[in-house]
Amino acid sequence: MSDRSDGPADADLPDDVDAPDPETLEPGADDSAVEEAAKRVPRGVPLRVEGLRKEFGGITAVDGATFSVEQGSLTGLIGPNGAGKSTTFNCITGVHEPTDGTVHFRGEDITGDRPHAIANRGLVRTFQIARELDEMTVLENMMLAPGGQRGESITRSVLPGLRSDVVGQETELREDAWETLEFFEIDHLAEEYAGNLSGGQRKLLELARALMTEPDMMLLDEPFAGVNPTLEEKLLDRIHALREQEDLTFLLVEHDMDLIMENCEHVIVMHQGRVLDEGTPEKIKANEEVIEAYLGGEV
């Protein structure tokens, strides 16, 4: 994994970010320090979804969902089958174009942007490893992870007439790939074909691949499906480590309520395409409407 210590102080920040937190400024800080702080994205709310709506023919999959996700949080998105969770993810990450509503990421309107453009901004979701990647090794899968310009450098590097900077980039990419595999403790599988991995190892690889894009925020749609308890523990541990070490933000769809309640500090409940409730796990657990949504009122 590459060094992210430069944090969110990117140069291409929107103008409409909130004022800097005065507590982060030294007393007597000069104007340039103030400007620097103003450029920084405030700790706050990287993702805002407002009035999101998605229709497929006659079906309204998402029906005016509004919510936001706090920086560095592990936020759970729950709801019964068909509630619109996956469609919401697809609208946020550009897989589907919303019928209505807006998606803002780090202060910028990304509604309807292409998936690669959104990923390049640092908002990614995991994707199942495509069948053709089964024929490649774990390391090759990592090197081919969608990484914007770095992905192109690989294509160029197989062409004759290599430039040294291209070689340098590939070396860096390979090092990143190894470090990320080590982080997920699947580096011993680097030369294994992806098709030979267990379901759980595959999930770890999916997460590892997504991390190669150096995201600021990840959307995980049922990442623990088919994962044994030991690997599930490991995945959760890595997610929490990424939050602490790199200030990554996670939005997680998961049907295991215990897992959600134990690991998320904020929970959003969707039902029939809308946000039914949101809040702390304690608040959600106490909401009878939520129980009804899940159990059809048979409580």
Q: Which parts of this chain interact with ligand ADP (CB under 6 A)?
A: 56, 59, 61, 79, 81-87
Least separation, in Å, of the C-beta of 76 and ligand ADP?
13
* 3-class DSSP assignment, residue 266: strand
Of 88 and 120, which has the nearer Cβ to ligand ADP? 88
Number of residues that bind Mg ion (CB under 5 A): 2
Q: Where are the alpha helices (DSSP H) in 212-273?
A: 229-246, 257-263
Which residues within the stretch 135-154 sit at the binding site for Mg ion (CB under 5 A)?
none
- Report how far residue 67's alpha carbon sits from residue 85's, in angstroms, rounded to the nearest whole number: 12
- With contacts defined by CB under 5 A, name the span among 82-90, 142-150, 179-187, 282-290 that binds Mg ion: 82-90
Least separation, in Å, of the C-beta of 57 and ligand ADP?
7
> Which partner in Mg ion, ligand ADP, none is near 84 (CB below 5 to 8 A by kind)?
ligand ADP
- Report how far residue 80's alpha carbon sits from residue 298's, in angstroms, rounded to the nearest whole number: 14
Cβ atoms of 189 and 197 closer than 8 Å: yes
The candidate with the shortest Cα–Cα distance to 80, out of 281, 231, 272, is: 272
Least separation, in Å, of the C-beta of 218 and ligand ADP?
17
**Residue 86 in the binding site for Mg ion (CB under 5 A):** yes
Of 20 and 84, which has the nearer Cβ to ligand ADP? 84
Q: Where are the alpha helices (DSSP H) in 100-228?
A: 115-120, 138-143, 149-157, 164-183, 199-211
The candidate with the shortest Cα–Cα distance to 119, out of 215, 220, 11, 41, is: 215
What is the binding site for Mg ion (CB under 5 A)? Answer: 85-86
